[in-house]
Amino acid sequence: MSLTSDQMELREQDIRKHYDAAFAMLDGFDHAPRIGVATQPVTAEERSPGIGTRRRFRSTTPGLATRRVERTEGVRVLDRIEASDGDDPMTSPRQAAVGAALRRAIAIALAVAESYEERTGLKDLKRQNLEAALPADRRTAFSELLAAEALIGLHVFANATAFLLAPHATEVTVELGDVDEVLTDNVQLALHGVLWELDQDIAALGTDEDRMVATVMAFAEALMEKIALRSEGAPRLEAFRGAAWRVEADDFAIRGFEPARKAKGTVLTMTFKKPHEVVGNHIAKYQAMKLSKMLMAYDFDRRLNPFAELGGFIFTFMGDGKPGTGKTTLIQMMAGLINDYCKVAGYTFRYQNFGIDNIDSYQGKSGQNANAFVQNVLDPQVIGFGTIDDIDQIAGKRGDRQSSAGQQEVTAVFMEAFAGANTVVRGNCTFGMFSNYPENVDDALRQRAGARFLVDGPQTREDYIDILALLMGKKHNIPLGEHELFSAQEIKRAVARTFEGHARPHEEGLVKVFDRVQAQVGELDTIAKMGTYLKAIQEADERFTGRAIKNITDAVKVRAMDFELPDAWMENPELFLRKSYDEKSAMIAELRVPITTDMVIQEINRYADSEFRYADKSDEVAIEAMVRDFGRQEEAKRRYLEGRE
């Protein structure tokens, strides 16, 4: 992938010139831990008798003297890696890959640190300090710049390590604690500190090759998190945050303290469904098909989707309906469409589902799982589709005493990710929340679903004939009869008919509001009249807030994009997928249709119907629970009185 306009190339020669220093660090150095506590022997066992243990390299920083606080020990990370397979004297390919990745990660970190030195003047200050000519009024700035360079070097090292080792990761995981030995005196001492702690972790946890790789990966992730937190209040980091580098040979991008994840897709084992195999659910199916094509407009160089900029992109949606109405089938259809489109375009597709098995009994782990799920789907280097099935069981209502701590953690993570202060919608991914009981989902989280897909299954006689014929298959001799198979599933005709059905509300409570407002102001054909209708809805249901209005206007913008990108654009990448961002944007703008009052009224009614439906169900559930409680109280009173007689 080529450089973007805001990126600088980190030249290969600038990286490779640090290879010797990087290898020397891995081969052996002395380090006296200041913060971390050694739990393992520092030096790995010798591989062969007769090989000396005197280290060939001792780290030095020009102009700086580091104070030793306790006895020095030899740290040999390469030997520790090679010891992960027991007594085998040969270095395995995976061990060599880990060693090579660590060497390159250190070299990249040193190259970026060197670039930072030149951009900030730190290089001159180091020279002056070496010559004992550093002005007194520059010493504070010198210390701050050294600390900033150390943080930058540690982050880039961890970021590059995680990125380069991603292809070697397996399903094996390890649990690491916090990274303690984070020193900020200077970049070399900082790298020595974390390599010492990595050596300790490999000794404790890397009992075989899979666990050794998992340990290094987990350490890199933990170190990135630690440095991101430390960097929030640290000075002198603007030159790093405001710059971006790219290592072309590795397709590795460095953007501040943002993790760069390897564009690794998901091997999907699900059974994909074709659109005609989704019977009924016309609007949900139509919007899912449109959204699948919208995702393919994403521009990897600009890291933005024209639909996200022009309006009409669905970042989050809620699919709700009774059990057995086709939510799983809808997921299978959408994932299949995106998967096929990505194969044609040569894009990486990542699908992930967040299920009940991600709720953990350990405090904080559920939130970590939810955050990892969100970040994997958000990865700007892939086309992502994340689903949360049965979200009413996974995300707890705030204030609900029956919700576990893990469920509350998940709710907090999803609320921040889907519509938080730091949420950035690039248009490369979408999240679908599905539930049979959406009334049990926290109100604020549910309202973060920008679109509503009512998954109500087959409705008409034709739908039931179609689904019976589909599920029966072809291994029978029963005649079809007088029926044109799947003609009722012709999407545009069915969708137009369904949208028109929302010219009036469906829920009884909303119908009363609609009729009352229309009797007062007449036909809802102006912004003022429609605003009056919205206020009346809010008076009837206080949960109908400003976020609801935003979701409605977003849905109207989706209707303005009420077209499907032509199938030919998905089949031949040269027609659309491989064009520049500006060309894609212009092609999409030409297809946009005008916004009408009918569209606005239909979307208000569709959204408000869903909220009234949820409220009615929620109230009914609460009433039934109270009736059961009263019944139990009466029975308990009866038994109590009988026992006293």
DSSP 193-211: HHHHHHHHHHHHH-SSHHH
How many domains is the chain partitioned into structurally? Answer: 2
Virtual torsion, Cα 32, 35, 39, 45, nearest 10 deg: -30
Residue 631, in any domain of the structure = no
Same domain, 288 and 378: yes
- The per-residue pLDDT of the chain, averaged, comes to 84
Residue 241, in any domain of the structure = yes
Taking CA atoms, 513 is separated from 325, 508, 534, 543, 640, in Å, by 29, 9, 10, 15, 48
DSSP-derived letter for residue 75 is E
Sorted by sequence, the CB contacts under 8 Å of residue 315 that are 6+ apart come out as 308, 418, 425, 427, 429, 430, 431, 450
Amino acid letter for position 9:
E
Same domain, 242 and 282: no
Beta carbons of 444 and 318 less than 8 angstroms apart: no
Residue 318, in any domain of the structure = yes
Residue 115, in any domain of the structure = yes
Cα gap 355→387, rounded to integer Å: 9
Helices 93-120 and 187-205, axial angle in degrees (round to 10): 160
Two structure tokens written together for 100: 């090579």
Same domain, 216 and 297: no
Cα gap 294→429, rounded to integer Å: 10
Strand order of the sheet with strand 8-9?
Answer: 8-9, 244-247, 252-255
Please give the pLDDT value at position 85: 84
Same domain, 244 and 295: no
Amino acid letter for position 580:
S
**CB neighbour class for 29 (10 Å; exposed up to 12, middle 13-18, buried from 19):** buried
Amino acid letter for position 566:
P
Please give the pLDDT value at position 52: 41
Residue 629, in any domain of the structure = no
Domain of residue 407, residue span: 275-623
Task: Quick: pLDDT tens for 99-115.
Answer: 999 999 999 999 999 99
Cα gap 393→23, rounded to integer Å: 50
Amino acid letter for position 403:
S
Residue with tokens 């569209």: 599
Task: Quick: pLDDT tens for 11-67.
Answer: 999 999 999 999 999 999 999 999 988 877 765 554 444 444 433 333 344 444 343
Please give the pLDDT value at position 65: 39
Same domain, 450 and 558: yes
Cα 244 to the chain's mean position, in Å?
Answer: 21
Residue 633, in any domain of the structure = no
Same domain, 247 and 284: no
Sorted by sequence, the CB contacts under 8 Å of residue 530 that are 6+ apart come out as 524, 597, 600, 601, 604
Residue with more model confidence, 323 or 315: 315
Helices 187-205 and 209-231, axial angle in degrees (round to 10): 140
Please give the pLDDT value at position 310: 84
631 has a pLDDT exceeding 60: yes
**Nearest of 156, 369, 19, 205 to residue 213 by alpha carbon:** 205
Amino acid letter for position 276:
H
Cα gap 296→427, rounded to integer Å: 9
Report the CATH number at residue 331. Answer: 3.40.50.300
Same domain, 250 and 372: no
Residue 536, in any domain of the structure = yes
Same domain, 214 and 322: no
∠ Cα 625 631 636 (to 5°):
125
**Bridge pairing between strands 29-31 and 8-9:** unpaired
Cα gap 364→356, rounded to integer Å: 15
Same domain, 314 and 217: no
User: What is the number of other CB atoms lying within 10 angstroms of the CB of residue 133?
Assistant: 9
Task: Quick: pLDDT tens for 188-231.
Answer: 999 999 999 999 999 999 999 999 999 999 999 999 999 999 99
Task: Quick: pLDDT tens for 478-501.
Answer: 888 888 776 666 566 666 666 777
Sorted by sequence, the CB contacts under 8 Å of residue 361 that are 6+ apart come out as 406
Same domain, 244 and 290: no
Residue 67, in any domain of the structure = no
**Bridge pairing between strands 429-435 and 316-320:** parallel
Same domain, 478 and 609: yes
Same domain, 230 and 298: no
* Residues above pLDDT 90, as percent of the chain: 42
User: What is the number of other CB atoms lying within 10 angstroms of the CB of residue 130?
Assistant: 13
Cα gap 115→112, rounded to integer Å: 5
∠ Cα 91 94 96 (to 5°):
50
* Residues above pLDDT 70, as percent of the chain: 88
Give the range among 87-96, 268-277, 450-459 with minimum mean pLDDT.
268-277
Two structure tokens written together for 92: 């395995």
